[in-house]
């Protein structure tokens, strides 16, 4: 039957390796592996300052077995050794979880790690990052000019979107928060469709009902973004459960910021996913701020990553400005989800370079120097640029041409989006239900009648009629 192994973390070295002492059948063994392989090889439950490990297969069965065998400890509901030492576990006694890094800010490779992406792939990912960056700049300005009502940029978090999305299967479902537009570009969403959403014109898949940047796309398995924070997390767990039952190997990735992680839904979702064995990646973008609130006012712990352990999930922290590391970590996480049908947590450490949104002036709560440092010295684009140049795969000329093309693409789509009308006014009553109930039919007719009489007081010309 399943054997029981107790292990304690005895040392965390500076390069992120953990030395683990494993005690099995009275014999003490020493093992060393990096944090990624911790995630891969164990289910870790922190109990009494120790790490309890159990085989992944058939772990529910194992849990029952455990209850039975541990009865002599007289400890309900928990497999824990007995101690005569009265010790609280102090957070300060636990080493900070290291962040996995492949690509250094200067473009060199950390510890000679392999980017695991082909040169062509890296170049095309970089081009897409530049495209997103250009899109953001133009859209931000267009909001400032009053052409769209609202916008949120992705500045500084481009590696999170492209690195993770590239590691997934296109059939995997995405539940995003709102600062993950890069995933849609990676999946091939046309710029025109994204602009149609921001303009709410008749080509918008969402039919002009939601605020700008609330994208959704059925054919790309990208669930519709909604403003309430963290609601997508338990939903994503439910989708993952349904996909698992269908058995077609798809997984779910849900993205959220470190601020959203404070919502109750985050707690519910992770606990559900872990107890119901859902193939889902919880991907946290820890960018230092939730609007004006810095992380030291958001949580008192070592970030989000260690919460995953509390729920019984494999968890890892990654340098979120490092395209290669985000890719590698997500690929490993996806493997865990698909082949072992269990959730995992990724915390990507990054920095929100832009304002929170077009309704926010971040200089009211942080310094311009701080922002400049992250943008220019360690930003995700700059890093890949340095790498590509060092490898002889990129040049200043190519950079100029790439930027020019990226801007031209956005301008073309923007001009198109502005020229398209909005849907007929009465379409605002559609899709509340699958069919229009009589009560809504009457309200729709009332509005029609009203507009026939008072239409000149309304911006009817923007719409394709009443």
Partner 1 sequence: MASVVHFRLLSAKFASLALNNISNRSVHYSAVSNNNTETQPCEKPNSLEEMTLLRSINNALDLALERDPSAIVFGEDVAFGGVFRCTKDLRDKYGKNRVFNTPLAEQGIVGFGIGAACAGSTAIAEIQFADYILPAFDQIVNEAAKYRYRSGNEFDCGKLTIRAPCGLVGHGGLYHSQSNEAFFSHAAGLKIVIPRGPYQAKGLLLSCIRDENPCLFFEPKALYRHAKDHIPTEYYELPLSKADVMEKGEDLTIIAWGGLVHVASEVVQMVRENFGKSCELIDLQTILPWDEETVFASARKTGRVIIAHEAPKTSGFGAEMSAAIQENCLYHLKAPVKRVAGYDIPVPHVFEKFYGPTKWKLIDAVEKILDE
Residues of this chain that bind partner 1 (CB under 8 A): 173, 175, 204-207, 209-210, 214, 216-218, 223-224, 226, 228, 231, 233-243, 245-246, 264-265, 267-269, 271-272, 275-276, 430-434, 437-440
Distance between CA atoms of residues 332 and 345, nearest Å: 11
Using only C-alpha atoms, what is the Rg of the chain? Answer: 25
Task: Tell how strand 280-286 and strand 344-349 pair up.
Answer: parallel
Reading the block at residue 120, the tokens are 């062509």
| Residue among 451, 319, 54 at smallest CA distance from 330 | 319
In angstroms, what is the minimal distance from the CB of 455 to partner 1?
A: 24
In angstroms, what is the minimal distance from the CB of 342 to partner 1?
A: 15
**Residue 81 or 437: which CB sits closer to partner 1?**
437
In angstroms, what is the minimal distance from the CB of 403 to partner 1?
A: 33
**Residue 100 or 311: which CB sits closer to partner 1?**
311
Element (DSSP H or E) covering residue 369: helix 368-376
In angstroms, what is the minimal distance from the CB of 438 to partner 1?
A: 7
**Residue 154 or 217: which CB sits closer to partner 1?**
217
* C-alpha angle 40-275-296 in degrees, rounded to nearest 5: 75
- Asked whether the CA dihedral 227, 228, 234, 238 is positive or negative, the reply is negative
In angstroms, what is the minimal distance from the CB of 104 to partner 1?
A: 38
Contact between 17 and 8 (Cβ < 8 Å): no
- Output phi, psi for 276, to 5 deg: -105, 10
Contacts of residue 315, Cβ cutoff 8 Å, sequence gap at least 6: 39, 97, 305, 306, 307, 308, 309, 344, 345, 346, 347
**Residue 116 or 227: which CB sits closer to partner 1?**
227
Residue with tokens 């200067």: 106
In angstroms, what is the minimal distance from the CB of 440 to partner 1?
A: 8
The alpha carbon torsion through 404, 408, 414, 417 (nearest 10 deg) reads -150
In angstroms, what is the minimal distance from the CB of 70 to partner 1?
A: 22
Residue 50 Cα distances to 54, 92, 125, 218, angstroms: 13, 15, 41, 44
Reading the block at residue 75, the tokens are 């400890």
Contact between 315 and 308 (Cβ < 8 Å): yes
Contact between 198 and 149 (Cβ < 8 Å): no
In angstroms, what is the minimal distance from the CB of 330 to partner 1?
A: 20
Distance between CA atoms of residues 360 and 354, nearest Å: 10
In angstroms, what is the minimal distance from the CB of 425 to partner 1?
A: 15
Distance between CA atoms of residues 272 and 250, nearest Å: 18
**Residue 49 or 224: which CB sits closer to partner 1?**
224
**Residue 418 or 431: which CB sits closer to partner 1?**
431
**Residue 131 or 217: which CB sits closer to partner 1?**
217
**Residue 17 or 193: which CB sits closer to partner 1?**
193
112 sits in the region (left: phi over 0; alpha: psi -120 to 50; else beta) called: left
- Output phi, psi for 52, to 5 deg: -95, 130
Residue with tokens 């009457």: 442
**Residue 390 or 432: which CB sits closer to partner 1?**
432
**Residue 37 or 427: which CB sits closer to partner 1?**
427
In angstroms, what is the minimal distance from the CB of 171 to partner 1?
A: 12
In angstroms, what is the minimal distance from the CB of 347 to partner 1?
A: 21
**Residue 94 or 428: which CB sits closer to partner 1?**
428
**Residue 192 or 209: which CB sits closer to partner 1?**
209
Residue 367: CB atoms within 10 A of its CB come to 10
Q: Where do the H-state alpha helices sit in 117-228?
A: 119-144, 158-166, 181-186, 191-199
Enter the DSSP assignment of 426.
Answer: G
In angstroms, what is the minimal distance from the CB of 278 to partner 1?
A: 9
Distance between CA atoms of residues 280 and 254, nearest Å: 7
């Amino acid at each position: 039957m399943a054997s029981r192994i107790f292990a304690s973390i005895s040392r965390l070295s500076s390069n992120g390796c953990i030395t683990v002492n494993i005690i099995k059948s009275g014999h003490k063994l020493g093992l060393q592996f990096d944090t990624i392989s911790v995630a891969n090889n164990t289910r870790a439950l922190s109990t009494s300052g120790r790490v309890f490990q159990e085989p992944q297969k058939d772990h529910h069965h194992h849990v029952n077995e455990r209850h039975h065998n541990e009865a002599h400890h007289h400890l309900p509901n928990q497999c824990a050794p007995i101690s005569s030492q009265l010790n609280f576990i102090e957070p300060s006694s636990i080493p900070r979880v290291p962040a996995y890094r492949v690509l250094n800010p200067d473009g060199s490779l950390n510890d000679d790690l392999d980017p695991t992406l082909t040169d062509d792939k890296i170049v095309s990912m970089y081009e897409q990052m530049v495209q997103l960056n250009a899109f953001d700049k133009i859209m931000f300005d267009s909001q400032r000019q009053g052409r769209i009502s609202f916008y949120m940029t992705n500045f500084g978090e481009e590696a999170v979107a492209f690195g993770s999305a590239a590691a997934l299967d296109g059939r995997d479902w995405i539940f995003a928060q709102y600062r993950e537009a890069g995933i849609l570009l990676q999946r091939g969403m046309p710029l025109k469709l994204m602009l149609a959403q921001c303009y709410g014109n008749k080509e918008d898949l969402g039919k002009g009902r939601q605020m700008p940047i609330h994208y959704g796309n059925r054919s790309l398995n990208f669930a519709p973004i909604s403003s309430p924070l963290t609601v997508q997390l338990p939903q994503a767990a439910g989708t993952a459960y349904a996909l698992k039952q269908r058995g077609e190997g798809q997984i779910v990735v849900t993205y959220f910021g470190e601020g959203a992680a404070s919502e109750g839904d985050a707690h519910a979702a992770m606990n559900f996913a872990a107890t119901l064995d859902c193939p889902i990646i919880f991907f946290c973008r820890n960018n230092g701020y939730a609007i004006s609130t810095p992380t030291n006012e958001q949580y008192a712990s070592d970030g989000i990553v260690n919460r995953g352990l509390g729920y019984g999930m494999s968890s890892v922290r990654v340098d979120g400005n490092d395209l290669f590391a985000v890719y590698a970590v997500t690929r490993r996480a996806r493997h865990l989800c698909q082949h072992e049908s269990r959730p995992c947590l990724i915390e990507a450490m990054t920095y929100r370079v832009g304002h929170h949104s077009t309704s926010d002036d971040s200089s009211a709560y942080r310094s311009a120097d701080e922002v400049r440092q992250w943008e220019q010295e360690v930003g995700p684009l700059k890093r890949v640029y340095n790498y590509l140049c060092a490898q002889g795969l990129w040049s200043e000329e190519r950079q100029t041409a790439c930027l020019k093309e990226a801007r031209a693409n956005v301008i073309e789509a923007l001009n198109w989006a502005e020229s398209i009308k909005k849907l007929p006014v009465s379409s605002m009553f559609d899709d509340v239900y699958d069919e229009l109930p009589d009560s809504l039919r009457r309200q729709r007719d009332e509005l029609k009648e009203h507009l026939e009489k008072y239409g000149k007081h309304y911006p009817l010309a923007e719409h394709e009629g009443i």
